[in-house]
């Protein structure tokens, strides 16, 4: 029987154990008028209990997906905050 307590609160709880990871609902960072579409999704690998951030960048119908650690995503958040408030 599946132990729901294993899922992080943000997990969609869809096929996690088969995929070996928990996956959140993608969240759009922007709107249709932006030059580049950005969607952020949280991942947690079952084997490592490490949260990752997957960014899907779409430009001219071509999507590039990159995955960074949660720590790196937090650092990126701080760096961008500093740059934009400078």
| Residues in touch with Zn ion (CB under 5 A) | 7, 11, 13, 16, 22
In the complex, minimum distance from the CB of residue 15 to Zn ion, in angstroms, rounded to a whole number: 9
User: Please, what is the minimum distance in Å from the beta carbon of residue 69 to Zn ion?
Assistant: 19
Give 11 or 53: the residue with its C-beta nearer to Zn ion.
Answer: 11
Rounded Cα distance, 73 and 55, in Å: 10
Please identify, using beta-carbon distances, which residue of 7 and 39 lies nearer to Zn ion: 7
Q: Which two tokens stand for residue 10?
A: 């943000």
21's CB contacts (< 8 A; 6+ apart) are 43, 44, 45, 46
Minimum CB–partner distance for residue 31 and Zn ion (Å): 29
**Residues present in the chain in total:** 86
């Amino acid at each position: 029987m599946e132990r729901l307590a294993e899922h992080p609160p943000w997990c969609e709880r869809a096929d996690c154990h088969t995929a070996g990871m928990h996956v959140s609902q993608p969240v759009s960072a922007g709107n249709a008028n932006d030059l580049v579409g950005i969607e952020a999704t949280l991942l947690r690998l079952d084997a490592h209990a490490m949260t990752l951030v997957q960014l899907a960048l779409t430009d001219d119908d071509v999507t590039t997906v990159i995955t960074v650690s949660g720590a790196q995503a937090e650092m990126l958040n701080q760096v961008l905050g500093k740059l934009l408030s400078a």
